[in-house]
Amino acid sequence: MIPSLSPLRGGPSFALPLMANGLADLGVSVDVVTTDDDGPAGRRNLPLGCAVTDGRVTYRYFARTTSFYTSSWSLTAWLARHVRGYDLVHIHALFSYAALPASLAAYRSGVPYIVRPLGTLSRWSVEQRRPLLKRLSYGVLESRIVRQAAAMHYTSGQEQREAEMLGISTRPVVIPVPIDAGAFAHPPSRDHVAGLVPLAASRPFLLYLSRLDRKKGLDLLIPAFADVHVRHPQVLLVIAGSGDPVLAREVRDEVGRRGLDGDVVFVGHVDGDQKQALLAHAAAFVLPSYGENFGIAPVEAMAAGVPVVITDRVGIAPDVAAALAGLVVRPDASAIARALNRVIEDPNLTARLAANARSLAGSRYAIPVVATELLQAYESVVGS
């Protein structure tokens, strides 16, 4: 169960189908239940209430009743009637409406459930994203969901530690998010980049590819790039992603104030060949986040053989540092700038980072690896 599979909702929408397909490849019967949500303003044009088969996975979409908390009465009714027919429920949500009826239906039916909180229990999320409302909601609703869960599915050790700082003692399992490493074996040509960003046809570029969200550290990225631009005026910064429109205007204003209009390019949400081409041909990928339970985009960049510069607040940072697959820095504009300059100026370092990055992505985050770990967790929960 996940409240939304809209690409506009970011990483979870891309990760869950990969998990489901990997489990199906191992012989698990998987149904995915969600809504027709398409971000705060829209709904997707999908068949509602019926089974939609994609490969060996069945999807069921239900009408979103409200955009706030992504509530759905028809989803609630379906869960109440059908959850008892399953061996296990994996809830990919917390602080979102659908987690409540899914957990309640499972508990009443004697079906064990696992909760993946999607980073909502991280320090940044708890302190910065509606903290008063979140504390109230946790005390009334989420604490019961967590307490009655058979296990909590964290995607990194950092996410587990920050959740346990809140007093959560439910059995933890740490399993990363998968990526389709094979999809990056034969990347599109640079012509796809030039079609999207004409200036990139002849200039190297740094890539930020993620939602436009305050926790992502865009307030650090622009001053960091301004420092890089002084030493490397030929380098572009490509910002790919959509999200908070207020933040988008603030970032554009800051770019203009620093005189970088011709050197920072906003391309909005990208997918398919455009996304693959940007990842494959970037000089470096940068995610200066203040809090990230995992970090799908930098893992995809590593699979594409691109050096990554991330902060130590990104969940995969310990793996990246241990494998020498990228540069991990504190969330500070000067530190980010220094790391980006190192990547631009040292081709030998860049080559080592790129090779290690591709190796790490293929060995740790590939779909079969993650699916096997998930299946082992499921068997353990059902068996106990």
Is residue 258 domain-shared with residue 310, that is, in the same domain? yes
The token pair at 352 is 């080592």
Is residue 203 domain-shared with residue 171, that is, in the same domain? no
Kindly give the pairing relationship between strand 30-35 and strand 51-54. unpaired
- The pTM (predicted TM-score) of the whole model is 0.90
Give the count of domains, the chain: 2
Is residue 26 domain-shared with residue 108, that is, in the same domain? yes
**What sign results for the dihedral spanned by CA atoms 34, 37, 38, 39?**
negative
Does residue 322 form part of some domain? yes
Is residue 110 domain-shared with residue 173, that is, in the same domain? yes
Sheet holding 236-240, edge to edge: 264-268, 236-240, 205-209, 284-287, 308-311, 326-329
**Which among 153, 37, 34 has a CA at the least distance from the CA of 98?**
34
Does residue 1 form part of some domain? no
Does residue 214 form part of some domain? yes
Is residue 158 domain-shared with residue 185, that is, in the same domain? no
pLDDT tens string, the chain, 384 residues long: the values are 999 999 888 889 999 999 999 999 999 999 999 999 998 778 999 999 999 999 999 999 999 999 888 999 999 999 999 999 999 999 999 999 999 999 999 999 999 999 999 988 887 787 777 778 788 888 788 999 999 999 999 999 999 999 999 899 999 999 999 999 888 988 999 998 999 999 998 999 999 999 999 999 999 999 999 999 999 999 999 999 998 999 999 999 999 999 999 999 999 999 889 999 999 999 999 999 999 999 999 999 999 999 999 999 999 999 999 999 999 999 999 999 999 999 999 999 999 999 999 999 999 999 999 999 999 999 999 998
Q: Is residue 326 within 8 Å of 284, Cβ to Cβ?
A: no
Is residue 159 domain-shared with residue 231, that is, in the same domain? no
Does residue 352 form part of some domain? yes
Q: What's the alpha-carbon Rg for the chain, to the nearest Å?
A: 21
User: What does the pLDDT read at residue 128?
Assistant: 73
Paired with 264 in beta bridges are 237
Q: Determine the Cα angle at 246 with ends 245 and 247, to 5°.
A: 90
Is residue 163 domain-shared with residue 190, that is, in the same domain? no
Amino acid letter, residue 27: G
CATH number of the domain that residue 23 is part of: 3.40.50.2000
User: What does the pLDDT read at residue 126?
Assistant: 78
Is residue 235 domain-shared with residue 265, that is, in the same domain? yes
Is residue 127 domain-shared with residue 245, that is, in the same domain? no
Does residue 335 form part of some domain? yes
Is residue 190 domain-shared with residue 53, that is, in the same domain? no
Q: Is residue 198 within 8 Å of 307, Cβ to Cβ?
A: no
**Domain range for 158:** 7-178+367-383
Is residue 81 domain-shared with residue 62, that is, in the same domain? yes
Is residue 209 domain-shared with residue 250, that is, in the same domain? yes
